[in-house]
Structure 1
Amino acid sequence: MSERTVFQSMSRKHVVRVAPDASVHEAACVMTRAICGSVLVMEPPDRMLGILTERDLMTRVVARALDPATTKVRDVMTPKPICVGPETPVSEAVVIMLEKGFRHLPVLRGDRILGVFSARDALPREIGMAMGLAEFNEQVNDAGGG
């Protein structure tokens, strides 16, 4: 049996995006609504400039005490991220992420963006679903002020 590809393993096969001039607060809201850990930073029509991840928010915004309402995504995103093709084996994508120290890889077929492969997508489906449920429960608890 052949190894799964990143495209086969992606839990989300649509592109979650924001404009480069969006505020970090707006980007965080988009990520929260989509229940994902990254957004692609794109200019029309479909030009990818970078990626903004939860880790970027933590290290480049919160840790530097920047105001999310006034900080622009373009100022804290990771520009020109490493990308992989849809037929890339999951193990190869995981090695790239481990070696480079990140958890999200945009997936492209030619110039067309198919989505983002995340480290969670590399986990067995049952573990990924359980992690998603646990994160959802945590967000519900956080929203309740508890």
Structure 2
Amino acid sequence: MAERTVFQSVPRMHVLSLGPHANVWEAACAMTRANCGSVLVMEPPDRLLGIVTERDLMTRVLAKALDPKQTSLVQIMTPHPQCVAPETKVSDAVLIMIERGFRHLPIVAADRKILGVFSIRDALPREIGTALSEAEFNEQVNDALG
């Protein structure tokens, strides 16, 4: 069976986005309504500035006791997030996530159009297993060469 691509694995292609001057409270409400774990920070018409995730809300807002209505997304977003092409294999995307320590990857077409956001939750156990095996192999190679 051929491995799925990130584009095939995302259950719905709705892209949740807000402008850079939206506040954290607006983002949290939008994410809750959409049952979504991230929001893209976009500058119209289609320029990706950053991403804000559930983890960002916890570590960069709640843990620092920031006022969500007074904190803009630009203040807490991860700027210029790593993106993947729609044809990227799920295990390759998961490997990127394992090695770089994040759980969401915007899916961007060759024409720079945002197609969706791949989440670690979209991966199947066998795809995660493939990525973990590759990450372990990469670590062993790096140790041998280091």
Judge same fold: TM > 0.5, yes or no: yes
Give the aligned partner of residue 139 of structure 2: none
Give the aligned partner of residue 47 of structure 2: 47
Alignment partners' CA distance in 2, 1:116 and 1:97? 13
Q: Aligned Cα RMSD in Å?
A: 0.8
- Cα shift readout 1:13-37 (whole Å, capped 9, x = no counterpart): 1210011100100000010000010
Give the aligned partner of residue 102 of structure 1: 102
Paired residue type of 2:91: S
Alignment partners' CA distance in 1, 2:56 and 2:80? 14
- Cα shift readout 1:40-76 (whole Å, capped 9, x = no counterpart): 0001001110000001111100111100011000100
Contact kept? 1:85, 1:108, Cα under 8 Å: yes
Contact kept? 1:108, 1:114, Cα under 8 Å: yes
Paired residue type of 2:4: R
For the pair 1:118 / 2:110, whether they are aligned, the reply is no
Give the aligned partner of residue 89 of structure 2: 89
Alignment partners' CA distance in 2, 1:6 and 1:52? 20
Q: How many residue pairs are counted as aligned between the two chains?
A: 124
Give the aligned partner of residue 27 of structure 1: 27
Contact kept? 1:40, 1:51, Cα under 8 Å: yes
Give the aligned partner of residue 71 of structure 1: 71
Q: Alignment partner of 2:64: what SS?
A: coil
Alignment partners' CA distance in 2, 1:99 and 1:58? 22
Gaps of 5+ in 1: 125-146
- Cα shift readout 1:76-118 (whole Å, capped 9, x = no counterpart): 0000000000000000000000111110000000211001000
Contact kept? 1:12, 1:116, Cα under 8 Å: no
Q: Alignment partner of 1:50: what SS?
A: strand
Alignment partners' CA distance in 2, 1:44 and 1:99? 31
**How far did residue 12 of structure 1 move?**
2.2
Give the aligned partner of residue 3 of structure 1: 3
Higher Cα radius of gyration: 2
| Paired-residue identity, % | 69
